[in-house]
Structure 1
């Protein structure tokens, strides 16, 4: 009986025991499976000092952030800290020196290679060029000791006054926006006062640190900068928020000007006195043609008053994310109503084809009309603060939206805070990163400033809810670090019998990345030299990230040197810090082959756990010159229980030379994920051939309540089915109220739980959500009736009366 029909029947019976009976399982049998330990789930590691605005190196090893100074009596609010996650060491980089006036340091940026830290600071480290006047804010860079630098040896970046030996610190950097830094730290772009005459207007300067201070070519304004300050009835912010690609060839930025024009002009607003509309531009620094080297990517329709800002660019420069309040950027997108202001949304621009998509959107959308692409449904409260990984296939943003997930986080934090959300463009999946240690419960929506490593494996952000992650309560924000290693799958394979000294047929295996971060294969190895790596994208394009949901291939063949069994371990691995790898067993037999598989589709499709696929037609052929008797057919390999032989015309059959026999296999998965097995045909003389079969499996869990109308202050029984076996399942109110209940599913994926509805719980339509750490959820709708005197079906406030 299907799970869905069992749940429906349970609703009529009205008890959790009945749903188990409807599934054909007794209570005793259902509970007889021994619980299995759940895998360790990723949880945030929160720094134990007041800290904020983190950035992370490409490999995820180093994290730099602004935090409270360590010295007792240091009155500064913000110093800069560096954490090495390899050994847990933490170093304060901007300790107060007695030789210079005290000052704050903010917005640290760690170069992708982990060699340098760039900060905006009031500290006048360059005693010869920084006269420590004006607004005092300047940009400095520190080369770290691991790369040949020395702690405390800060280099002045914003030497924007004078030339040659007369060059001096600008003392005019804006502390509102972080600097942009290329991957090796030699290029820095920063936001500063546009001019002395327009101190409230901002501009951007790009600095090449390979050129000496004071020399020509060291610094230049960003392309698309108007020649003078505006003289109009509109208000302006200026040019700001620079963001570099890794190699520094591309610079994205926000501008109130028409920066794509050869002679840029200041833009306009909706009405005189309004702020001029801002847009996001990309400057291709390798293109010297000023007519074409700056491109506007936030192209709203004429008359759309929305503004765009906050660009983030992928390391390879191919994708740029930004925030916009414009409502006409993506045709057909379903956006929340403007009331009167329009909620900001996150968009993703692809330079390879010029496409633009809504990124802050629901994972699934309504069906399209006449075969058109589904209309994306935007985050209902908006989204901000995008961040991209190196290849742009993972995008983080901050949102308090209530329509992205079945469960809602409790509102908390500052107005810019929210959940940390991960969007994977290739699959359209949306996941919440800011969850507690159980991997399910959302943290309070008090997170901000997300960044991620090159592969997306390490996510950093700051939070006002550090105590919720299990840390001692500390006043102010705290930096959190989350490890999200990828989940990889690689099948075991038996290649059958191959003639000694001759290469057998080429086989192809897939390394599947189930996410949530990218996998970067660096090395493909085989432990036995009789098994040869003949190609495949894992090896041929080593160093290319495999995004979540993607795969790379390994091609291999057996050339046995001696007769007899051959066993080898195939390993596909990354390189560098916290590298991950995946291995499988490859086997075969050196001998005289007599059977071969006939090529046919061997993929069983995408099937719900416990259900069955259509039969897969397979065949074996006699490739010898004499009749061959097939002794038996069996299913072996990684998941033999997931594939059943439904038709066997091969076992105990003798095939003449060149003839074939048929069989059929049904895919009936017992667990989720990629499932594989080898169908093996063994001849009477011991030679054998194999067919690799595979399929993808998923759970479709269901949840139901014993009573759909619940009186506050009572208990309700919940029953579920279709979950993974022996895993923790957390049940909570969708709106975040109350205390979650966690139960263990049994060996059949069934569960029963009692949930206490408190007298103070909100009355009205409510939803229970049951979810597991691997992302599966099920819901049950109920109505809670407030407890006011005697309540029952005859009460005036009973539903339906």
Structure 2
């Protein structure tokens, strides 16, 4: 990158940020990665899109597990006197439907905090409108919880009362005691609902959580109960209390997390204490295992400090599978060794994540880096966590300036900030709210993030909707719901299995499907369109339906059993359910002559759906690679059959990878050539070649090495082919990861307002578009193109 000069009219100190707008090319990671109905990796793969905002005032979105359906609260149509109603966005059809419409005879009121169930079939909301005129008298506080079953799931569109009082027959009435401050928690099918209510009629400021099983008829025992861990009586001491609140629930409804300032893990819960009279009692996060009926063990505290209480823990969220809980805490002693910012009256809120099996607790709002190293916490408030289905990915809101090099403009409300996506197991962090180009942050005016089950979709609301809108779009005065798509970048290498004897199975090979993020990939179809190539197993097959998280892999085990002599070729496809690419590959596999030894042609219409009942995914992905082999008399075999190099900077050599080539024939053979082929052949070089032109006796061997010098970043793969004079050959698969190490220098550390500064960069990918921006998010940015 050549030196460029920039000025700033109002600046006294220099702080610039350089970001690359072009990422790794699709070829760097995959042989052929495809989106539904296309033949190559889509341009958006491996990236997050720019937010798409709703063109009206809207807020507090929630998203279905597959990312297709979004429910949110928003302003009603012109002429409607209400302040808030509830809408449903169908992202496939691009249709928005109002759900809480005015009904003749039903008094007018606001509807807020909609929550769509994971299956996308129900929406549960808090409303002042007495939709159930028989049980809801429209008196008192008026807030109640109602649920509707959506029309695409054969619902009528009507609203059913959830927050009813106990009793039977005419004794059942609307509770009129729901707190609109906290959204209800809803199980995956919408059949279990937990909501925050007042503790009792005489304690309007004290809260409690009520759990409703909607599969139990109204009035029957077991339909309503307070969350386990709720004290029987209101407190009467000298401390202040907020009560039990903020429920969150797993997809199956068995794991329910909540915030409580009582000692809720006790068999006989009692109210907690504070450091001194008149203060609020310390709040903690608890988890209730609802299918455990032993009251001595079914509630446990998960916000456990290493020592005395030093702060409050609140805002729990539960992963869909119930394995993981994330929460917010001002406690300074939850993770030993963590470096946290200095405390004022209270410590800076941080986001923590805990695995329920084993109790492992980690700091999630941390500076990106080695996940095994002692973490450095965000230097400003981090709040509002949301997890994916397995707890692999997390999003949260932060005002921190130490998580990213570029700082977003600090506008918005006190609870607004950047939306951060993190993979705690990898120690990564990515800003979700970015402008077109992917480097410049959008204003930190965002709240209420939610994550779809596979991490493909992030929804949130923002006060900065105008920066995402197309030119000429009328400005909206207020919050707007934003949707960001994130498709995973998948890798699957081509493979040449060499020469194998006709009618005999060759050795097993293992190919990795690598997921380089930023979201999960769920294999559902694994198939080959040529019957002489066999899928013999692997985790992509044995664990199909299980998401592969960012940074993870699943494997496909392969064999080649040629039925005829000569060269053969096939396509291996690993796809999610619903992928057109996967469906087409499946048809091709069925059309081929079946090989009796091939155990895997996975048909989603038969054994797959019968075994796992896997649904089609929204915006499914697929990855493909080319398999080759030769039917004939094998004479050579390598050891090892493949190798993965240590990571290297682009243009720098890594350590050599040694191989030994054995003669497995009964007679001497002459090695004619050793050549590198494949998509990234230029990244690998054969050195120390003792094989080419060499006669190798029966049971003898020769040696060679392969060195990796990446020409681009990302996963690079190739095939090393060793051929004998008679045309037989054997192969080794080699791979390595390359990366760039960009460097930036400035001509001054401090500049006066109106003066110029020279910025020079090196180590960027050729042709990379580099953006130079001010770290505080203000001022004009400048772009440059890196030299070839």
Question: If the TM-score is normalised by the length of the shorter chain, which range does it land in?
Answer: 0.7 to 0.9
Name 1:57's counterpart in structure 2: 64
| Counterpart contact for 1:600–1:617, Cα < 8 Å | no
1:721 and 1:497 mapped to 2: Cα distance?
46
List alignment gaps of at least 5 residues for structure 1. 8-36, 367-372, 748-801
Cα deviation for residue 549 of structure 1 reads 0.7
TM-score by length of 1: 0.86
Name 2:488's counterpart in structure 1: 486
Cα deviation for residue 375 of structure 1 reads 2.0
Task: Assess, with a 3 A threshold, how the Cα gap between structure 1 residues 709 and 379 changes in structure 2: closer, same or farther.
Answer: closer
| Counterpart contact for 2:282–2:309, Cα < 8 Å | no
1:31-430 aligned within 5 A: 39-40=43-44, 42-70=49-77, 72-151=78-157, 153-364=158-369, 374-430=373-429
| Counterpart contact for 1:343–1:381, Cα < 8 Å | yes
Provide the aligned C-alpha RMSD in A.
1.7
1:165 and 1:619 mapped to 2: Cα distance?
84
SS class of match (2:688) = strand
Cα deviation for residue 94 of structure 1 reads 0.7
1:381 and 1:577 mapped to 2: Cα distance?
36
2:515 and 2:42 mapped to 1: Cα distance?
20
SS class of match (1:703) = strand
Cα deviation for residue 727 of structure 1 reads 2.4
1:124 and 1:677 mapped to 2: Cα distance?
66
List alignment gaps of at least 5 residues for structure 2. 4-40, 578-616
| Counterpart contact for 2:320–2:389, Cα < 8 Å | yes
Cα deviation for residue 598 of structure 1 reads 1.9
1:164 and 1:215 mapped to 2: Cα distance?
10
SS class of match (2:270) = coil
| Counterpart contact for 1:164–1:215, Cα < 8 Å | no
2:572 and 2:760 mapped to 1: Cα distance?
43
Instruction: Write out per-residue CA displacement over residues 546-585 of structure 1, whole angstroms, 9 at most, x where no aligned residue.
Output: 1111111110011111111111111111122111111111
Question: Which residue, out of 602, 608, 616, partners 2:649?
Answer: 608
Cα deviation for residue 302 of structure 1 reads 4.8
2:269 and 2:166 mapped to 1: Cα distance?
24
1:521-536 aligned within 5 A: 521-536=523-538
Instruction: Write out per-residue CA displacement over residues 734-767 of structure 1, whole angstroms, 9 at most, x where no aligned residue.
Output: 22232111222233xxxxxxxxxxxxxxxxxxxx
1:548 corresponds to 2:550: yes
Higher RCO structure, 1 or 2 (CA under 8 Å, sep 6+): 2
Cα deviation for residue 250 of structure 1 reads 0.8
Instruction: Write out per-residue CA displacement over residues 243-282 of structure 1, whole angstroms, 9 at most, x where no aligned residue.
Output: 0011011100001110000110011111111111111000
Task: Assess, with a 3 A threshold, how the Cα gap between structure 1 residues 516 and 365 changes in structure 2: closer, same or farther.
Answer: closer
1:60 and 1:730 mapped to 2: Cα distance?
31
| Counterpart contact for 1:161–1:169, Cα < 8 Å | no
1:727 and 1:84 mapped to 2: Cα distance?
37
Question: Which residue, out of 509, 512, 530, partners 1:510?
Answer: 512
| Counterpart contact for 1:38–1:727, Cα < 8 Å | no
1:533-682 aligned within 5 A: 533-575=535-577, 576-599=617-640, 602-682=643-723
Cα deviation for residue 39 of structure 1 reads 4.2
1:736 and 1:539 mapped to 2: Cα distance?
46
Instruction: Write out per-residue CA displacement over residues 574-609 of structure 1, whole angstroms, 9 at most, x where no aligned residue.
Output: 122111111111111111111111227611111111
Cα deviation for residue 161 of structure 1 reads 4.8
2:310 and 2:573 mapped to 1: Cα distance?
55
Q: Which sits farther off after the overlay, 721-730 or 325-334?
A: 721-730
SS class of match (2:205) = coil
Cα deviation for residue 530 of structure 1 reads 0.9
Name 1:752's counterpart in structure 2: none
Task: Assess, with a 3 A threshold, how the Cα gap between structure 1 residues 693 and 302 changes in structure 2: closer, same or farther.
Answer: closer
1:581 and 1:716 mapped to 2: Cα distance?
47
